[in-house]
Amino acid sequence: MTHPQAETTLAHMQTFEPPPPGLDPLTAPASLLRQHGFPRRPDPATAPELDRIWQRTFARPKTIIQAELAFDEVMSARNPLYSGSENFTPSGWGGVVVETSSLGYSPAEPATCVAGIIIVPEIYPVSGDSASPLTVGFWVGLDGFTNGQVLQAGFAATITGTSVNYWAWTEWYPLGPVAVTNFPLEVGDAITVVVSAPQPDQGSVYLSNERTGLATRIGITPPAGITSIGASAEWIVEGISADLPNFFECTFCDNVAETQQHAFDLTPDGIITNIGGSNGPLTQAIIASPNTEIVLWEGSA
């Protein structure tokens, strides 16, 4: 049976044809990069750290693929917004949130882009060979912390017994999520995720895998009545199922976000959030450096 949101959600998604052979993203015009799904080239004057990551990402050849999308039934079964409660069991966010209101910009500036490299962790059942599927998500995003929407992308993993399935996905909630079905990933891969809203009514997601060399971009238009607020940027592990599978630790590195005029990282005002359980926190998030975050698995619900 088709999910009632599937057709509407997919209608808000845009994919991009691969570039012609020989296109060099380091020198190609910005208009050509946009046409073929490359993320926007950052301004080195206002976002030097983001520009460094961009330059390093495309210093190695990338195979740009046209994303193949399908409605994500697994991720659609949850509310992705931050609940603000320490007692959720175990759904919630473990990671770091930076609210743009804390950055001291005058006048205030919304976040328009957030990026990070997430190392795919190995997933284990919480106790022996569980028959019940357990799912966890890993993502970066804009908004969702104190408002009714979130633009996000990353990957998720479901373990059933000892079998684990990893997949990439994105969404602009309250639209439903979509899975990127032709973007393979496995344990140890370094997945670059860039989520941006260059205009309040335009979303863009870029994913690349350093091991495979594959990269893709997805454009998203928001649902009616929604525009990007840019009130916060996040780097998050999200509990999805009735318990949190054991992922030991997940590292987010090269974490950076930007407004139209400034770039910022996890410090000094990053808010650490942890997934709560009935017996205490299920995760422990650590800011290891201004651009590095580690989320540790602490236990089951």
In a domain, residue 58? The reply is yes
Cα 8 from Cα 19, distance rounded (Å)? 28
Asked if residue 247 lies in contact with residue 255, where contact means CB atoms within 8 angstroms, the answer is: no
Note whether residue 12 is domain-resident. Answer: yes
pLDDT for residue 223 is more than 70:
yes
Residues of the domain holding 165: 6-297
Provide the b/e sequence for 150-159 (b: ≥16 CB within 10 Å).
Answer: bbbbbbbbbb
Is 80 within the bounds of a domain? yes
Report the CATH number that the domain containing residue 260 is assigned in CATH.
2.60.120.700
Q: State the pLDDT at residue 144.
A: 94
What total of structural domains would you count in the chain? 1
Distance CA 259, CA 100 (A): 9
Strand-pairing partners, residue 263, are: 258
Three-state secondary structure call for residue 212: coil
Q: Within a 13 Å sphere around the CA of 42, how many CA atoms are in the beta-carbon half? A: 30
At residue 168, the pLDDT reads: 98
**Are the C-beta atoms of 220 and 172 separated by less than 8 Å?**
yes
Question: In whole angstroms, what separates CA 109 from the centre of its chain?
Answer: 21
138 lies in some domain: yes
Q: Is the pLDDT of residue 91 over 80?
A: no
Residue at 76 is within a domain = yes
pLDDT score at 85: 58
- Report if residue 289 sits inside a domain: yes
Tell me the per-residue pLDDT of 5-60, one tens digit each, with 9 for 90 and over. Answer: 899 999 999 999 888 888 888 888 888 887 887 777 888 887 787 788 788 878 77
Q: Does the residue 1 lie in any domain?
A: no
Closest CA to 114 of 284, 293, 295: 293
User: Which pTM was predicted?
Assistant: 0.93
Q: Give residue-wise pLDDT tens across range 96-120.
A: 999 999 999 989 899 999 999 999 9
- Can you tell me the distance from the alpha carbon of 45 to that of 262, in angstroms, rounded to the nearest whole number? 9
Residue with tokens 């570039």: 19
State pLDDT tens for residues 169-182. 999 999 999 999 99
| Digit-coded pLDDT (tens) for 44-55 | 887 787 788 788
HSE (CB half, 13 Å, CA atoms) of 300?
13
- 162 pLDDT band (50/70/90 cuts)? confident
